[in-house]
Amino acid sequence: MQKPLHRSVTEKKPYIRRLTGSLPPAASMLRSYKLYLMLLVSSIFFIVCQNQGSITSLVSNVSAASSGPGNDLPLGGPEAVAAPLQALGNDGMELLYGDSEPALGAEKIRSRSLNFKDMPLKPNDRSSSTLSATSTSAATTSTTSSSTTTTARTTPTTTTTKVATTNGVASHSNVPYRFPVDTKQLPPLYIITPTYRRPEQIPELTRLGYTLKHVQNVLWIVVEDSENRTTSVARLLEEIGVPFVQLAAPMPAQYRKQKVKPRGVSNRNRALQWIRANATEGTLYFADDDNTYNLKLFEQLRHVRKVAMFPVGLISKYQVSSPVVKNGTITGFYDGWLGGRKYPLDMAGFAVSVKFLHSRPKAQMPFKPGYEEDGFLRSLEPLDLKEVELLASNCTEILTWHTQARKNPPAPALDRKKYGGTNLVQLTSWLV
């Protein structure tokens, strides 16, 4: 009898059971766990990809806090960033500590900027002499400004801070400040800004300060034309957070009587004196507070060997002051007022190497209105124009502008009877 081609249902069951077999409960549970773990790992991976920035920030904060001397500090605050700097004390790094209130008598270097590369310096590093001189100047009285005709005075006071030591490492409740970083990695910039009290002073310093906040390894030397350093400027410098030195160098009395005054000369000469005493390398640049600066300019200034020149916009009737360059060589100068000057440049149109300044110990700025730039560059001679470096794409770009603010008259006195007890009383403290 011929067998049927298809099995019955009852015959198929044991046949299928023989082929596949039945899974034991343990194997079925293991299979479920594997599926669950795969889903869990996929979910974690997705979350990590979505929050990579936050996790990176958290890890950096934890590592910064763990490298400190063990203070109980909140993550993400300025103290957490300061912790690694405190640990550098054993590596030969001298730390300067700031007070909760600015001490106007001491030439202290302060920084709350996160732009610095936190690198320990070796004790035999050349920049350690700069740090040593800096700490010395912070503890001693201010010296007098050197000039050919007069002496600029500063307030001779000192600052004391209570510094505790833990395992030989200095610690403090405030944020430590230091300058410079490893000069072999990034040459420092010394930005010299003379300033004087006027309605536009604080706004213009604010604009320049927040520009410098984007520049690495910079020290802002702010010199006031006053007998003493003012609290308003000190407060602003602290708030901005750029590393700074605040000095005072009033204009000599005999020049205040002139119709056209040599503004900023005493201030700049005082800054040059400070650089000679505290800096060994880098570049100095006179950056007035009423100018506007492209950040590319500061990066180009870092490697100046002797003297660099570049154009300045919004100057005189020509709207630009610049060297005349042909085939990569200076053939003259283009400026709205030549005045018999050998170097008819604007103050913001040149920069000088610190080492080159040291090679010209008598270089300074003259008290001659209109001839300050020319006199200073002449004092750097011998200087061959072929040695001058041309920045701003061979002087074809404008990276700084002379954008003076509109002059404002002093604010009238506030009517205390009418507005006493209101917010206007506090607002007037910001006005001149």
Cis, peptide link before residue 74, omega less than 30° from 0: no
User: What is residue 50's predicted lDDT score, i.e. its pLDDT?
Assistant: 61
Q: Name the residue type at position 418.
A: K
Contact, 345 vs 310, CB < 8 A? no
> pLDDT above 70 covers what percent of the chain?
62
**Residue carrying the six token digits 């549970």:** 29
Q: Can 373 be counted among the known catalytic residues?
A: yes
pLDDT reported for residue 75: 30
> What token pair was written down for 118?
């936190």
Is 84 a residue whose pLDDT tops 60? no
**pLDDT given for residue 31 in this prediction:** 74
Question: Is 290 annotated for ligand binding?
Answer: yes
Q: How many residues are present in the chain?
A: 432
Which listed residue (94, 238, 373, 387) is catalytic? 373
Give the H/E segment covering residue 422.
none
Q: In angstroms, rounded to a whole number, what is the distance separating the alpha carbons of residues 393 and 397?
A: 6
Q: Smallest Cα–Cα separation from 179: which of 116, 247, 237?
A: 116
141-155 pLDDT, tens digit each:
333 333 333 333 333
Beta bridge partners of 307: 352
Radius of gyration of the chain, Cα coordinates, nearest whole angstrom: 32
Q: How far apart (Å, rounded) are the C-alpha atoms in residues 359 and 349? A: 21
CA-angle at 113, arms to 107 and 116, nearest 5°: 95
The domain limits of the chain are 189-401
pLDDT, one tens digit per residue, over 201-253 is 999 999 999 999 999 999 999 999 999 999 999 999 999 999 999 999 999 99
Least confident segment among 50-59, 236-245, 266-275, 392-401: 50-59
Bridge partners for 285 per DSSP: 191, 351
Q: Tokens 């006493």 appear where?
A: 420
Confidence band of 52 (pLDDT split at 50, 70, 90): low
Token pair of 383 as six digits? 């200087």
State the Cα–Cα distance between residues 112 and 222, nearest whole angstrom: 17
**Residue 93 predicted with pLDDT over 60:** no
Predicted structure pTM score: 0.61
359 phi-psi bin (left φ>0, alpha ψ -120 to 50, beta other): alpha
What is the structure's pLDDT at 159? Answer: 31
> How does residue 290 score in pLDDT terms, banded at 50, 70 and 90?
very high
Helix (H, G, I), strand (E, B) or coil at 270: helix
| Structure tokens given for 374 | 């020319």
pLDDT of 430 over the 60 cut: yes
Sheet holding 350-353, edge to edge: 244-248, 218-224, 189-195, 283-286, 350-353, 307-309, 389-390
Q: Which CATH superfamily is domain 189-401 in?
A: Spore Coat Polysaccharide Biosynthesis Protein SpsA; Chain A (3.90.550.10)
- Strand pairing category for 218-224 and 189-195: parallel
Helices (runs of H) and strands (runs of E) counted in the chain: 15, 16
Show the tokens assigned to 80: 């957490």
Q: How many CA atoms lie within 13 A of 267 on its CB side?
A: 26
The predicted pLDDT at position 229 comes to 95
pLDDT at residue 411 in the model: 85
